Structure 1
Amino acid sequence: MENDADYLARLRDYYADHGVLPPYSTIMSLVGFKSKSPVAALVARLKLQGFLESTPDKRLKPGRRFFERPLCDSVRAGFPSPAADTHHDTLTIDEYLVSHPSRTVLVTVKGDSMNGAGILPGDTVVVEKRATANAGDMVIAIVDNEFTLKTLGREKGKFVLIPSNPAYPVIRPSSDLEIFGVVVGQFRKYK
Structure 2
Amino acid sequence: MYAMLRGMKANRDDKHLDALKDYFANHKALPSYAGIAELLGMSSRASVQKLVSRLKENGYLDTKVPRRLVPTAKFLERRLVGSSPAGFPSPAEEAMGDAISIDDYLVEHPSKTVLVEVKGDSMVGAGINTGDILIVKRESRPRVDRIIVAIVDGEFTIKHLRKDNEGYYLEPDNPAYPIIRPQTDLKMYGVVVGQFRKYDE
Instruction: Tell me how far apart the structure 2 counterparts of residues 62 and 4 of structure 1 sit (CA, whole Å).
Output: 16
Unaligned runs of 5+ in 1: none
TM-score, normalised via structure 1 length: 0.95
Q: Could you report, residue by residue, the CA deviation over 1:69-102 in whole angstroms, capped at 9, with x for unpaired residues?
A: 1111111111111111112211111111000011
Residue pair 2:138, 2:191 contacting (<8 A) in 1 also: yes
Give the alignment of 1:55-74 within 5 angstroms: 55-74=64-83
> Does the C-alpha gap of structure 1 residues 38 and 176 become closer, same or farther in structure 2, counting only changes over 3 Å?
same
Amino acid at match of 1:56: V
> Which residue is equivalent to 1:15?
24
> Is residue 130 of structure 2 the alignment partner of residue 125 of structure 1?
no
Amino acid at match of 1:179: M
Report the number of matched residues: 191
Identity percentage of aligned residues: 49
Task: Identify the match of residue 115 of structure 2 among 74, 86, 106.
Answer: 106
**Range that drifts further, 168-177 or 116-125:** 168-177
Residue pair 1:162, 1:171 contacting (<8 A) in 2 also: yes
Cα deviation, residue 157, structure 1: 5.5
Q: Could you report, residue by residue, the CA deviation over 1:107-131 in whole angstroms, capped at 9, with x for unpaired residues?
A: 1100000000000000000011111
Instruction: Tell me how far apart the structure 2 counterparts of residues 18 and 115 of structure 1 sit (CA, whole Å).
Output: 35
Give the alignment of 1:41-190 within 5 angstroms: 41-156=50-165, 158-190=167-199
More strand by share: 1
Instruction: Tell me how far apart the structure 2 counterparts of residues 31 and 15 of structure 1 sit (CA, whole Å).
Output: 14
Cα deviation, residue 175, structure 1: 2.9
Instruction: Tell me how far apart the structure 2 counterparts of residues 40 and 101 of structure 1 sit (CA, whole Å).
Output: 34
Residue pair 1:47, 1:63 contacting (<8 A) in 2 also: no
Amino acid at match of 1:62: P
TM-score, normalised via structure 2 length: 0.90
